[in-house]
Every structure is written in C-alpha cells, then in structure tokens.
Amino acid sequence: MSGAGAPSLSVDGTGLRVTVVAASWHTTVMDGLLDGARRALARANVTDVRVVRVPGTFELPVAAAAAAQQGADAVVALGVVIRGGTPHFEYVCQGATLGLTDVAIRTGVPVGFGVLTCDDEQQALDRAGLEGSHEDKGAEAAEAAVATVLALRAL
C-alpha cells in the first residue's frame, strides 16, 4: 500500500475557510473521500467548510481556482479516475494534476490533492476511507491543505 511513510499531522485550522471541490463519478468512492475530508477538517477545528460538487475530476481545477479567487484559505480537491481501455485515463489524470498544481502556484492557496488514480475499482475502494479501506485519502488531502496553510503563515 502506498501509505507507508505518511506523516502524522495534527493541525489546528481554527478560523480557516476551506472549500472542498469534489467530483461526482464513482459515488461510493467519492462519498468516502468526502466524508474523510469532513472528518479531518472537523478534527482540525475547521468550521467554515464549503462543499462544491463538479461533474468529474477534469473539472476540479476550474472549481479550485474559483474557490481560491473567492477567498478560500485552502482547497481540498477530491476525485477518482479508474483506468479503462483507452488513453482517456492519462489525459484526465494529467489535466487534473497539472491544473490543480497551477491553481496552487498561481494563487498561493494550498490545494490538498485527493485525486485517486487507480487501475481498478478495488484500488479506489481501498483508499476511499470507507469501512474496510486501508487508507483515507480524503482525510489526508484535507490535513495536508490545512497544514500547508499553517506552514505558509509561519514563513
């Protein structure tokens, strides 16, 4: 499992405004990721949380950019792309990754990257933070976004 070596973050995001942008494909996986992000934000004392759903993972960067422009202190981007039989997987994954990276760098607003790029549905379920999952990537993305805000403020 890829979670080996992950840091244990304990962050206090009191007063932060966080927008979670979440794709709509693969409902079970997305519900798990979103629940994990909400749990992590609650643990971090973040009470100003806005959730925006978009059709798919490819649409996450434009929603993240809008959230950053509208005053979010951090954005958590959640999506899942499962490999199929065409190159579509690579295009969507690359577009989402480069787009979200661009949003963070261009705006200075941290973007927690909770986009699963999996070979099959079982890999996604194992990372979705559901009962029986091995990892909770939604929670990890939320924690990373809050921790990055705090790190940037400490500079």
| pLDDT tens by residue, 44-79 | 999 999 999 999 999 999 999 999 999 999 999 999
Active-site position among 50, 88, 106, 134: 88
Cα torsion through 72, 152, 38, 50, rounded to 10: 0
Binding-site sequence positions: 25, 57-59, 80-82, 85-86, 113, 127
In this prediction, residue 86 carries a pLDDT of: 87
pTM for the full predicted model: 0.94
Query: Is 134 a residue of the active site?
Result: no
Residue 1 pLDDT class (50, 70, 90 cuts) = very low
- Concatenating the DSSP letter of every residue in 61-95 gives HHHHHHHHHTT-SEEEEEEEEE--SSTHHHHHHHH
Q: How far apart are CA 42 and CA 35, in angstroms?
A: 11
Element (H, E) at 3: none
In this prediction, residue 23 carries a pLDDT of: 98
| Two tokens, residue 14 | 């009191």
What average pLDDT does the segment 80-97 reach? Answer: 94
Q: In the chain, what are the domain boundaries?
A: 110-155
At 86, phi and psi to the nearest 5? Answer: -125, 170
pLDDT digits (tens, 9 = 90+) for 4-34: 666 677 889 999 999 999 999 999 999 999 9
Binding-site sequence positions for 5-amino-6-(D-ribitylamino)uracil: 25, 57-59, 80-82, 113
Query: What is the CB-side half-sphere exposure of residue 66 using CA atoms within 13 A?
Result: 12
